[in-house]
Structures are given as C-alpha cells and as structure tokens.
C-alpha cells in the first residue's frame, strides 16, 4: 500500500486544476450565451463546493481522552510547526501530552501515537483498521467501483475466505521460495535499463528517477506475477507503473467533489477503466487457458496461477474473471511502494561516492550478479534497512478506530477517529531503538548511516536484516498486517540497485542530498530533483 494520500491542500489544488481546466475548455467551446451562462453557474457551484470541502474546519465532535496539543493557527492548525521541524514538534507534543496526543491539521483532528503505542495499535486489528484508515483519506475502493462497476463488479469476499491477495503472497513469496523469480527479475531489470537508459561510457543524462524506476519495477511485477506470456506486454507494464497514481487521483476527486460532479468528471477524465480493461483483456484469456490446461501452470510460478487455484470458503474455484480482477490489488500493494523506497535509496547513494565505491568493490567480487548473490552483500542490506528506517513518513500507518478502544495508557480513543503513527519519531528515538543503538554506530539516529547495520554480530544478524520486522523497524508493518511481499521487495530492490551501481555513476547536480518533498508535514516523498546518470566503462550490460 502506499501512504501518500493525505494532503487536503494538494487534493484541492489538484482537483481544482483538473476541473477548472475542463470547465474552461467547455466555456471556450460553448457557442451560445445560454450555454456559457449554465457553465458559469456550474463552475461557481463546483468551485464553492470544493472550497467548502477543503476550507471548512471539521473538528471532531467525538469525546476523546487524548489531549489536543496547544498552539496552532486557525484552519492550518499545527501544520506549519510540524512542517518546519517534524522531530522537534513531535518531541514538544510528547513532552506536553505524553505518548498519545491529538493535533489539528488543515481542518481535521487526528490522534497521533508514538513509541510502544504504535505497536499496541498494530497488534489490535479488531479495533484499528488500516483499510478503513486509507479509504477515509482516499476512497480507493469507490474509485475502482465508479471506474469499473458498470463492466465487472468483482467478487464479494466472505469472512471465511482466504484473502486472494494476501494469502498467495504470504505463502509463496517466502525467502526460500524466491528463486523461481530470479531469472525474471534479472531479465526485467536488464531489459528496461538496456532499452530506456542505455548510456555509452562517459555519456551523461539527467533525469528524475521515478519514471525509469516505476517502469522497471512494473516490468518485474508483470513478469513475476503474470508470467512471461503476458508480462512482456509494454502497454500493460506502462499502465501498471502508473496505476496507483491514477487510482489515487480518481479517489481524490471523489473525496472533494459532490457525488454527481465526481461521477461525471471521473467517467470522462479520470477513470481507470482503460487500465482495468487492459488487465482483464490480457489476463482472463491466459487464465482460461490455465484452467483448461492448454497452458501448463507448472512451467512458471505466477500469482495468476496461485489465485486461480485458491479455493473459496465454499470449496469452489474462482472464475478466471474473478481471479484476474484481484491482480490490480497486488499492483496497488507492490509497485508504488517499491518504487518509492528504491528512489530514496538512489538519492542516498547519489550524494555518497565513497559508499558507492565500497559497494561496487563488493559487487565486483561476485562471479555473477543475481538477486541471490547480491542478496548476500551485507552492506547492501544494511543500506536498504537504513533507507527503510530513515526515509520513512513522519506520520503514517493511518488507521481508523472501528470501536472505542483503550490504549495501554488507559486512555480511550473513540470510534471513527483517524489515528496516525509517529514513524520517523520512533525510528529516531534512542529510547525506542535500544537494539539499534547498541550496534554502536557513531552516527546519531537522526542521521543516515548506510553502515549502521553492518555492526550486527553474526549470532543474531538475521534480526536486523532489511526484511526483518520489529518494534524498531515499522516500515513493513507488524503482526497480522505485516507486508507479506517484503522478502520479494528487498530482493528486487537490492538487485536493481546493484545493476544501477555497476552500470552508471549516479550523482546529484550539487553533490548534496536533494531535498525530499514533505506533504502536509506528514508524508515524505523522494526528491523530484533529477539525478545525473553517466555510463560506466565496465558495465554489466547483458543483452536479452
């Protein structure tokens, strides 16, 4: 899942821009006074409605034991203080109100939990729903419904059903099962880099890294989840690279526009119908052939085969159409998140030439570069764990309280409250990160140290790998809701980084770490500043 859907401000501006562009175009096209007048009236109404939705303060009327933090401005609330220095602000809140407090952001009250209380929340899925938290910020399910219900509704799962998204990933993507994807990951990465970033030695190109990474991660996902018969389809790869962003845009429109306008705007301009059509057109025939045994499912391990063969609670198998429709959820869970952290990793590397040189020396010692061999490079794993620790959202893990819930502090949070976890604070607080501090890095937790997890001694080394979840490492979630795809994620990210390190010199224009984009003081995005790629002499360019 992605946690980047939180800015009311950006929400408003983005949607206002799309809608006003559309209405202006219509104004321009309207050829009678009457049409012009009607359109002006519609523009005023829609504009007023959006402003009302964005600006009208929505103070919670629910009674909560958790105290509101002092200070803040009208409407903006604590936003400026949070944005200015998130760590100092969270510390002030903790000093004033203890480990749980409420803040006011852009017209909305939210409860923030810190330290062990985040663990409390994640341990209690009966009371805290991640799904409802996300949907309350961006109604993704509604966005999918408005886009596609008229064509296909998808199945309604019963509480006794094994989850067709989580179950197959959880049971088939464990560390010792990932070998079946190794060749496809290599092919995908090399294909995309050869085709899209083929630089001669010394040739330079500056580019924002998101697009090339998203399409490469998407190529990996399409090949591994759907198989080689459809996974090379470039229309599918491009569509899935951008799918999460498009669904978020649609969801944001739904959350700020009045129902009828949203439906109209989405159907005409923001629908993800064509992307869903594409997946169904490609995947359903493939799965029909799997079902009729025209294709031997044993030839290649795919998510498609896993979901097709997973029986429902009533013992029946899903139809190919039902099964194919779940693929979009795996895409939503995997491609954006993986791209997000790979981008951060590249930005951390781009301003640290000595670290890159050290990694390159270790990679050059390998007989061949594969996900398995680079997976064993301790420094690469330490770097990735540090990226996932340090480049984390300031506030994230949005959960909605399903029914009144008591924290271990005795405070009760009322039903319907949106709760956020202070992720960055936890990952940088020496009192929370005792095991990590014990590793002995001389670099404080507030700074980035790619070598931090190199100091783990072998006996409990596995306890601090980039895929090992725990109270000191929350990025992949915890307990029942821990990310089932995390082993696959770190596997593909490390291989992709190794290839990039060997093929290119990657630097920033200034030599310094580019600045992240912090949305609403809470959500961190990798910098949009382009990185400079320069082709290297001894590359591992292999043609496929």
327 is a contact residue toward ligand HEM (CB under 6 A): no
- CB-based contact 405:388 (threshold 8 Å): no
**CB nearer ligand HEM, residue 391 or residue 449:** 391
Of these, 116, 154, 208, 477, which contacts ligand HEM (CB under 6 A)?
A: 477
344 is a contact residue toward ligand HEM (CB under 6 A): no
DSSP 8-state code for residue 74: T
**CB nearer ligand HEM, residue 113 or residue 199:** 113
Least distance from C-beta 337 to ligand HEM, angstroms?
Answer: 4
36 in helix, strand or coil? helix
Q: Which of residues 437-456 bind ligand HEM (CB under 6 A)?
A: none
∠ Cα 133 397 463 (to 5°): 145
- CB-based contact 18:269 (threshold 8 Å): yes
Token readout for 435 is: 């095991």
Q: Which of residues 488-507 bind ligand HEM (CB under 6 A)?
A: 488-489
The kind and range of the H/E element at 396 are strand 396-401
Contact mark string toward ligand HEM, 158..187, x via CB under 6 A? -------xx--x---x--------------
DSSP string, 342-373: HHHHHHHHHT-HHHHHHHHHHHHTSSS--HHH
∠ Cα 479 381 433 (to 5°): 55
Q: Which of residues 110-169 bind ligand HEM (CB under 6 A)?
A: 130, 165-166, 169
481 is a contact residue toward ligand HEM (CB under 6 A): yes
- CB-based contact 390:448 (threshold 8 Å): yes
**CB nearer ligand HEM, residue 360 or residue 402:** 402
Of these, 7, 172, 301, 475, which contacts ligand HEM (CB under 6 A)?
A: 475
DSSP 8-state code for residue 470: B
Of these, 473, 476, 495, 533, which contacts ligand HEM (CB under 6 A)?
A: 476
Choices 84-92, 136-144, 240-248, 337-345; region in contact with ligand HEM by CB under 6 A: 337-345
Q: What is the gyration radius of the CA atoms in the chain, in angstroms?
A: 24
**CB nearer ligand HEM, residue 135 or residue 428:** 135
**CB nearer ligand HEM, residue 148 or residue 225:** 225
3-class DSSP string for 201-269: ECCEEEECHHHHHHHHHHHHHHHHHHCHHHHCCHHHHHHHHCHHHHHHHHHHHHHHCCHHHHHHHHHHH
How many residues belong to the site for ligand HEM (CB under 6 A)? 22
- CB-based contact 54:256 (threshold 8 Å): yes
CB atoms within 10 A of CB 321: 15
Q: Is 226 annotated as a binding residue?
A: no
473 is a contact residue toward ligand HEM (CB under 6 A): no
484 is a contact residue toward ligand HEM (CB under 6 A): yes
338 is a contact residue toward ligand HEM (CB under 6 A): yes
∠ Cα 126 128 133 (to 5°): 135
Least distance from C-beta 376 to ligand HEM, angstroms?
Answer: 20
**CB nearer ligand HEM, residue 329 or residue 540:** 329
Least distance from C-beta 421 to ligand HEM, angstroms?
Answer: 10
Binding residue ranges for heme: 483
Q: Using CB under 6 A, list all residues that contact ligand HEM.
A: 1, 130, 165-166, 169, 173, 329-330, 333-334, 337-338, 341, 475-477, 481, 483-485, 488-489
């Amino acid at each position: 899942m992605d946690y980047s859907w939180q800015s009311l401000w950006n929400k408003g501006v983005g949607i206002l821009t799309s809608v006003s562009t559309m209405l202006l175009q219509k104004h321009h096209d309207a050829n009678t006074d009457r049409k012009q007048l009607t359109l002006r009236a519609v523009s005023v109404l829609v504009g007023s409605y959006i402003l009302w939705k964005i600006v009208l303060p929505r103070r919670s009327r629910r009674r909560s034991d958790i105290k509101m933090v002092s200070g803040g401005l009208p409407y903006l609330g604590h936003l400026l203080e949070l944005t200015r220095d998130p760590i100092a602000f969270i510390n002030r809140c903790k000093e004033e109100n203890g480990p749980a407090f409420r803040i006011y952001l852009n017209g909305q009250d939210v409860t923030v939990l810190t330290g062990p209380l985040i663990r409390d929340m994640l341990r209690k899925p009966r009371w805290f729903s991640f799904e409802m938290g996300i949907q309350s910020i961006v109604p993704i399910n509604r966005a999918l419904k408005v886009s596609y219900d008229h064509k296909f509704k998808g199945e309604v799962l019963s509480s006794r059903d094994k989850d067709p998204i989580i179950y197959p990933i959880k049971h088939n993507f464990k560390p010792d099962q990932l070998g079946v994807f190794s060749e496809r990951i290599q092919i995908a990465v090399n294909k995309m880099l050869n085709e899209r970033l083929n630089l001669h030695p010394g040739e330079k190109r500056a580019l924002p890294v998101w697009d090339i990474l998203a399409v490469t991660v998407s190529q990996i996902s399409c090949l591994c989840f759907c198989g080689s018969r459809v996974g090379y389809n470039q229309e599918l790869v491009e569509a899935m690279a951008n799918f999460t962003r498009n669904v978020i845009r649609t969801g944001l429109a739904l959350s700020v526009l009045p129902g009828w306008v949203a439906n109209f705007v989405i159907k005409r301009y923001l629908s993800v119908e064509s992307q869903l059509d594409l997946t169904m057109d490609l995947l359903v025939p493939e799965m029909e052939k799997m079902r009729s045994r025209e294709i031997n499912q044993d030839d290649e391990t795919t998510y498609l085969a896993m979901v097709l063969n997973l029986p429902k609670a009533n013992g029946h198998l899903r139809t190919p159409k039902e099964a194919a429709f779940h693929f979009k959820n795996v895409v939503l869970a995997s491609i954006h998140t993986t791209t997000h952290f790979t981008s951060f990793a590249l930005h951390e590397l781009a301003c640290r030439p000595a670290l890159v040189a050290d990694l390159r020396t270790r990679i050059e010692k390998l007989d061949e570069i594969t996900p398995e061999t680079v997976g064993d490079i301790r420094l690469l794993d330490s770097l990735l764990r540090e990226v996932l620790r340090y480049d984390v959202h300031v506030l994230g893990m949005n959960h909605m309280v399903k029914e009144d819930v008591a924290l271990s502090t005795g405070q009760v949070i009322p039903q319907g409250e949106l709760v956020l976890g202070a992720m960055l604070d936890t990952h940088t607080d020496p009192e929370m990160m005792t095991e990590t501090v014990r590793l002995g890095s001389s670099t404080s937790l507030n700074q980035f140290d790619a070598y931090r997890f190199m100091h783990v001694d072998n006996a409990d080394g596995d306890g601090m790998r980039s895929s090992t979840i725990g109270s000191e490492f929350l990025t992949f979630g915890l307990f029942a809701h821990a990310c089932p795809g995390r082993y696959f994620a770190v596997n593909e990210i490390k291989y992709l980084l190794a290839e990039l390190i060997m093929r290119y010199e990657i630097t920033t224009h200034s030599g310094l770490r580019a600045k992240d984009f912090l949305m609403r003081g809470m959500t961190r995005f990798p910098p949009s500043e382009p990185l400079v790629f320069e082709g290297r002499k001894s590359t591992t360019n292999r043609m496929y």
